[in-house]
Structures are given as C-alpha cells and as structure tokens.
Amino acid sequence: MDLDLKGKRALVCGSSQGMGLAIAKELSSLGSRVTLFARNEDSLKEALQELAPGDHDYLVADFDDLDAVKTKVKEGLKNGDYHILVNNSGGPAPGLLAEADLLDFEVAMNRHLNVSHLLVQALLPGMKKTNYGRVVNIISTSVKIPIVGLGVSNTVRGAMASWSKTLASELGQYGITVNNILPGFINTARIESLIAGKSKNLGKTEMEIEEGMKKMIPAGRFGEASEIAAYAALLCSPSGAYINGTSLRIDGGRTGSI
C-alpha cells in the first residue's frame, strides 16, 4: 500500500485539537508538510509541537469570518500549493429543528459549507496543476440517519454531503478526489459537550448518559480520534486515488442503515 505523502502539502482545518489534530499528526508522520488551521493561536502553537518533524506551519482565523479565512489562505499559498484539504469544524449547538432560528442556519452554513467551498476554490488551481488533489470532509453519521436533537447540524451536514458528491463528479478528471468521513461517537471535546447537555436536559448523571450511548454501539465503546485519522490518511494517499464521492461511516456499527 502506498501511503507515502512526501512532497505533498496539507491544509487541515480545526486542527488545534480532537480529530483535526489527530489527522494532522497522521499526515505529518507519512511525510506531508502540514498547515494547521484554527482560531486559537496558543492552541495551534502547542499542536504544532505534536507533529512529526518537518516544515510545518499554521494559520489563524475564525471560521465565522469568511474574509479572514480567505486572507489567511492566500498567505498560506505564498509558501506553495496544497495537495490535500481536510475540512473540519465544530458542530452546531444541539437543539430541536422546529425551534431553530434562521441565524442558526446562517452561522452553521458559513462555518461548514461556505468555508469549505471557499477553501476548495482557493486550493483547486494548485491541485489541478499537479494532477493530485485530496479533499476530505469530516461530517457526521447524520448524513445517513438524522440524529435526534441535532436539527441544525443534521440539515447542514446533509448539505455538505451533497456538495461533496457533486464536486467529486466534477473534479475526478483532474486527479482530485472528494470524500466524506462520517464519525460516530468519538472521544473528543464535542462528545463531552453532548454528554453534558444530555445530562442537564434529562436529569441523569453524565456516567449514565455515556453508558447509554455506548449501549447503542455494537463495538461497545466510543471511537478514538486516531481511528478517524487512519482512514483519512488512506483517502489522502496515492492508494486512495480510486476512492471518490464516498461517505464512509466510522461508528463502531451504530448507524442502523446499510
């Protein structure tokens, strides 16, 4: 299997912690130059130290500010083209869809779909020039089955999946693949936040909520960020060249669909 990423450059969003950082670490271990991209510079500086030795850097911007994202990516491109883009951002706050405000959709669409589209357009010329491009979107299993209590998230994730599938059909001819990873319950700050929210809303302890969630998973446990990173690395590698337009669940078997 050819997982060699030497000579490749990757832009990994939301990479100061959690799944984004795990993916950045994995790509760097395979030889890629990595640019971390998130909003907290102190966290990015710490994350940079966790990457395998190499010519890595970071960009700082709040994904709610599209102009700032565009400016920072232009700065990053001054140091060379990117071959790999990992779109990853924190999920919208939980809540019932019927109670969602229009502003909730606007913020979520900007943070996920609009930023991802902006980044693809910025990096696309370099990917076409080298005939090598990998776009990996970290979304959610709600693409397959909507998750109760995550109304805005379900809606926006679905839009991301359709956007991704359409891009895959348009860009495959240039040696560019576009795929989605659909994480289930993964040990990150996001799952801790969801557990805390459910505990408050249902009047149960966080331990009871966690145990109940694990009972929904055939594997009997939450996944690890490193398990998401391993598959992301395959998609970004030369061996992933014929995987295009796919949404893969990494959820321990929890999602109840084929």
Q: Which residue has the tokens 């001054």?
A: 78
- Mind listing the pLDDT tens digit for each residue in 72-88? 999 999 999 999 999 99
Residues whose CB falls within 8 Å of the CB of residue 166, separated by 6 or more in sequence, listed in order: none
Assess contact for 24 and 51: CB atoms under 8 A. yes
Does the domain made of 9-186+223-250 have the CATH classification 3.40.50.720? yes
Q: Rounded to whole angstroms, how far apart are CA atoms 55 and 140?
A: 31
Length in residues, the chain: 258
Assess contact for 157 and 143: CB atoms under 8 A. yes
Could you state, in order of their start, the residue ranges of all structural domains in the chain?
9-186+223-250, 188-222
Question: Per-residue pLDDT averaged across 117-142, rounded?
Answer: 98
Mean of the per-residue pLDDT values of the chain: 96
List the beta strands (DSSP E) in 1-132.
9-13, 33-38, 57-60, 84-87
Residue 34 phi/psi, 5° resolution?
A: -120, 135
- Mind listing the pLDDT tens digit for each residue in 168-207? 999 999 999 999 999 999 999 888 988 998 898 889 999 9
- Stated pTM of the model: 0.96
